[in-house]
Structure 1
Amino acid sequence: MENERRYHFSKSLFQSSAPFSHIVIAGGLGQVSGIIGQRRDDGALVAPDIGPQVQMMFENLDLVLKEAGDLLP
């Protein structure tokens, strides 16, 4: 179905109490939300500096996209 939305919550990332999906797939597009430079075990930022936070954010994003790969057309 073209307008169907699929929601994916990564079990590998820290589970926030915020009610959002890590990725929502609709119309063949994946939209991510809440992917930040935090540790996967306790949700703390990896460092106070932006460089390590950005690196970790991309690692977390890569993980979510790989997990959701089967959901994408």
Structure 2
Amino acid sequence: MDIRTLARPVLERIFEQTGETVHFARLERTDVQFIDAIESRRAVRVDLGALRQSGTDSKTPSSGIVPQDHHQRRVA
């Protein structure tokens, strides 16, 4: 069984719980390889308050950089 088949039920569970777009990707050196996704029908929103609190300029596009503590975060 391939990794996409194994991960799909997890993606579906996260999508059902959040209603948001869910991506499954892996980091290969400096490249992100997207393996699977479930797209939400909701419009994309940006929380400008969170951007301001983090010190990010609201005009700066998302970089796609994974935070260093990403391995400590878990989805219930």
TM over 0.5: no
Max radius of gyration: which structure?
2
Structure with higher helix content: 2
> TM-score with structure 2 length normalisation?
0.28
